[in-house]
Amino acid sequence: MSKIETIRSNITKHYEKKKEEYQKRRSRDNRYKWGKYYQDSKWKFLRELKISHQPICEVCEAEGRAVPAEHIHHIRRFSSGVDEFEKYKLLLDYNNLMSLCLSHHKMAHEIMNNENKDMVTIGEIVKYDEKLRQAYLGSPQEARNK
């Protein structure tokens, strides 16, 4: 490895370590902040109920694939509740739940974070997924012209 490559790889390692530290800290903070909600026995029950009713990711299903749901997502963030009562109401509202695979769950939160929104629809996740796929594979138009 040349000297410059060594330096570059050291810098990359340094940043990855920082990023990892940051993510660890953030997930610890989140557990502390939201842990009591996720430990709620009614939430655990509802979560199991939803998974048993809808074991397939709802976005994958809309895209015509059957992928097991790994996560139960709140359509409207329960953290958006103005007070404890509202937060619990959103947390424990069966109609506020969506079964998602890991990657669609990530996308749902990416969209909400990027657009600063408290909720996202299945249709919006499908569109976002399509956009990511096109960015990765090139648009169908480009592919046809190749």
User: Could you tell me which residues come within 8 angstroms of residue 119 by beta carbon, excluding any fewer than 6 positions away?
Assistant: 75, 76, 77, 112
Return the amino acid letter for 16.
E
Shortest approach of Zn ion to residue 67 CB, angstroms? Answer: 5
Concatenating the DSSP letter of every residue in 102-121 gives HHHHHHHHHHHHHHT-SB--
Quick one: 50 or 73, whose CB is closer to Zn ion? 73
Give the separation between CA 102 and CA 57, rounded to whole angstroms.
9
Instruction: Check residue 101 for interaction with Zn ion (CB under 5 A).
Output: yes
Rule CB under 5 A: is residue 57 a binding residue for Zn ion? yes
Among 78, 91, 104, 120, binds Zn ion (CB under 5 A): 104
E strand or H helix at 48, and its extent?
A: helix 41-53
Q: Which residues pair with 99 in a beta bridge?
A: 72
Interface residue with Zn ion among 73, 97, 120, 122 (CB under 5 A) is 73
Binding string to Zn ion for residues 30 to 49, with x set by CB under 5 A, is what? --------------------
Q: Which amino acid makes up residue 86?
A: E
- Which span sits near Zn ion by CB under 5 A: 9-17, 23-31, 33-41, 54-62? 54-62
Interacting residues toward Zn ion by CB under 5 A: 57, 59-60, 67, 73, 101, 104
